[in-house]
Amino acid sequence: MHLKKLLFFLLLLSVGLSLHAQQKEPVDYADPLLGTSESRWMLNPGATMPFGMVQLSPDNQGDVWKSGYEYSLNNIGGFSHIHSWTMVGLSVMPTVGLLSTYRGAADAPTTGWTSGYRSRIDKSTEVATPGYYGITLMNGNIRTELTSTTRAGFFRFTYPEAHEEAHILLDLDIPGEAKTDILNAKITRISDTEIEGFSHQKWSWNEYTVHFVVRFNKPMKSFGGWNGNKVQKEIKEILGKGRVGAFADFKVKAGDVILMQTGISLVSIEQARLNLDTEMNPFNWSFDAVKLNARNVWNTMLSKIKVEGGTEVDKKKFYSNFYRSYVARTTWSDVNGKYVDVNEKIQQSNSPVYGSDALWNTFWNLNQLWGLVNPDITSNWAKSLIEIYRTGGWLPKGPAGIEYSGIMEASHEIPLIVGAYQKGIRDFDIETAYKAMLHQQTTNGVKTPENGFAGNRFFDSYMKLGYVPHEEGQVSNTLEYAYDDWCVAQFAKAIGKKDSYELFLKRAGNYKNVFDPETKYIRMKNRDGSWVKDWSPYCCTSFSGSGYLEGNAWQYSFFNPHDVQGIINLMGKDEFNNRLNEGFEKSVKYNFNAEGDQYDLVPVNHGNQPNMQAAWLFNYAGKPWLTQKWTREIMNKYYGSTPYHGWLGDEDEGQMGAWYVMAAMGLFETDGGVSAKPFYEIGSPIFNKITIALDDKYYSGKTFVIEAKNTSDANRYIQSAKLDGKDLTKPWFYHADLVDGGTLTLEMGATPNMKWGVKPTDAPPSMSPIKK
């Protein structure tokens, strides 16, 4: 009898847990703490909105590579507003007791207190969800909570104990990945509840001014500031350069709550105030309302893809990667469209203007996801890139702070724009886009006045010789330039520019100029046409100068997004398949990641951009089951579900995240979706059912469903496929067949079906025909 009762109780518990799991929404699976150990400045656990200007997050490191938030450190040195690539701004820190204006070293804190104002934290109190972060600081036991809108921040400080001296510090000297110099700054007390200021700062080519407005829900007791070692109290303003900051003092009783709201802008203090008033005033000082709004925005975004089946860990990885695909890049235009252009002039835009790290090879991740799930965002990115061309004369590679950074090589903003057009996302200035691409791909790049770089390096030689010679720069640039040429050719053909189409299509074959038929590798080539002799397939990773940009010959010999068949023809199908598979076998033990940027050592280095397409290439070479096998292995080994193991390499503003989302759905576009008729290659979905909500402004279908029957880690191989009820015998299908709605049904099993999708005619389209 007791056993029956126990079994009944366990059954009820199981049902209850199941119902609880079913009640979770997509936003509940996204974990901002995932992967925050050994992570970049842009990858943090803070409170932000999609492409937020304000990215409020805790910082606990110094001026070091991969600075920002390190999960394993049990202290915090401040909560800063900007976590964009190469950019920092306005750090906030609540303290009590003796005033300190120094942050203190990351490894210095003692129990509760530090050598500066840095505080230890109670790690068990740490909570991070999309749009919210909370922690208890042991210095004063201050519960510190953050939430935000796109351009404004909201802090809630709860004091469990009374303090005669409670300080809220505003520090402008912020340690980050890129050491920023403060050239000029001023912070002014406007009233008992409001502070405003600016910080004019610079790192390398990136010079910008962060303007801010700060307001409190209760009056300050006093205001002061510091410049260098000089601390001043009871003043109206502080100004200077270098180490500059201010403090607002309060007297608090036990249980008191201080609310603080902030708005920022790169344009002016007035614009910062406009951003703050426009985005925060509707919430009437309700922290919880702003937090709920952020949650709802994120949940709406993440709910565009609904997954069923799989494990709770699978869902956590899926939605956390989905979240990362929208969280790190930055909106730099204000609520009324004003922004500061590359010439430091104030401009007006009718759509968001974005800043980011490079769009280097985002055609293998972000472009695909945005174009499928958020065509409106793809449209905005295209408009932003064209706007920067309109005011600056060049398309930007990585427009951090709306500057020409010159990071990285080639002009892979082009495939984003062309891919948008090919998918029917055409609500941007098409003629200006064409002019911008034509200029980009026919003009040698230039240094900009602020010491950045616009356009393509070594491009004069590329246009004359058909390749980048070893004496000048990376041979790998040849491959990247040829791909962009092909993209321009596709755009020119689509809009009826026949002469340009023929010119750029011919140049798209330039990759052949650096393929050595004897070794069957992409080789470094001298200006006189001879091959560089001191060479091996795993040599010559380069970050500047000659060689292979952040890669090696093995990896770049498979880099040919628009013409995989062309490489198969040159290399031979058997050599292509054997070399590629052997590379995966060798890379498994490294979890497909080159530790410490040792790119020469690992063939398949998923932790960096140049061969993120590698696992999908078997679809082109008659062995699609190996695509199914190796995409699963990458998802299992490279990607994790904890703060210490999220992405082993450089997540790089959502690129690794977006790849995972696409791969987990079993979809990919090796050519970046730029073909006249874009198409998706098929891999191995990890969920039984995936429902993609389609944007009816751009796509006619309401939803597209992917059913992977019996899928599991063991059952990773496609046995058969149907598209809208009809047999699908090829490992790919057209984008048009997805966005008109319907269903892709895959029967999955534990044994590879070596007869499905293996015919030469089953391969996805390439520029070159199959060699007979």
Residue 522's φ and ψ, nearest 5 degrees, are: -70, 125
pLDDT of 652 reads 87
In 602-723, beta strands by DSSP E = 639-642, 645-647, 667-668, 679-682, 689-693, 703-709, 717-723
11 pLDDT above the threshold of 60: no
pLDDT of residue 1: 45
Per-residue pLDDT at 15 exceeds 50: no
pLDDT tens digits for 692-711? 999 999 999 999 999 999 99
Q: What is the pLDDT of residue 416?
A: 98
Q: 3-class secondary structure for 526-588?
A: CCCCCECCCCCCCCCEECCCCEEECCCHHHHCCCCCCCHHHHHHHHCHHHHHHHHHHHHHHHH
* Stretch among 229-238, 291-300, 539-548, 730-739 having the lowest mean pLDDT: 539-548
Nearest residue to 118 via CA among 149, 148, 140:
140
- Round to whole Å and give the CA distance between 26 and 295: 10
Q: What pLDDT shows up at residue 146? A: 98
Angle at 143 between CA 138 and CA 148, to 5 degrees: 130
What pLDDT is attached to residue 22?
A: 59
Please state the rounded mean pLDDT for residues 114-135: 93
> pLDDT at position 63, please?
87
Q: Can you name the residues that pair with 128 across neighbouring β-strands?
A: 133
What pLDDT was estimated at residue 597? 67
In contact, 452 and 397? CB cutoff 8 Å: no
**Residues 43, 70: Cα–Cα separation, whole Å:** 10
* Span 564-772 CATH architecture: 2-Layer Sandwich (3.30)
Average pLDDT, the chain: 94
Report the candidate in 136, 134, 100, 132 with the shortest Cα–Cα distance to residue 118. 100
Using alpha carbons, select from 509, 529, 406, 548 the residue that is nearest to residue 461. 529
Q: Residue 652 phi/psi, 5° resolution?
A: 55, 65
State yes or no: pLDDT of 114 exceeds 50: no
Say if residues 384 and 438 touch (Cβ distance below 8 Å).
no
Residue 157 has pLDDT above 50, yes or no: yes
Residues in the chain: 772
The pLDDT-based confidence of 502 (bands split at 50, 70, 90) is very high
pLDDT confidence bin for 771, thresholds 50/70/90: confident
pLDDT band at 113; cut points 50, 70, 90: very low
Residue 462, amino acid: Y
Mean pLDDT of 541-566: 94
Q: Predicted confidence band at 387 (pLDDT cuts at 50, 70, 90)?
A: very high
Do residues 282 and 199 make contact, with C-beta atoms less than 8 angstroms apart? Answer: no
Model pLDDT, residue 500: 97
Residue 681 has pLDDT above 80, yes or no: yes
* Fold annotation for 26-301: Beta-galactosidase; Chain A, domain 5 (2.70.98)
Other Cβ atoms closer than 10 A to 124: 6
Strands (E), 172-302: 181-191, 194-203, 206-216, 222-227, 230-233, 237-240, 244-252, 257-265
Q: Average the pLDDT over 399-418 and give the result.
A: 95
Residue 735 predicted with pLDDT over 90: yes
Q: What are the boundaries of each domain within the chain?
A: 26-301, 337-360+368-375+383-409+423-457, 564-772
Tell me: the pLDDT tens digits for 178-225? 889 999 999 999 999 999 999 999 999 999 999 999 999 999 999 999
Q: Is 364 helix (H, G, I), strand (E, B) or coil?
A: helix
pTM of the model: 0.95
Fold identical between 26-301 and 564-772? no
319 close to 24: Cβ distance less than 8 angstroms:
no
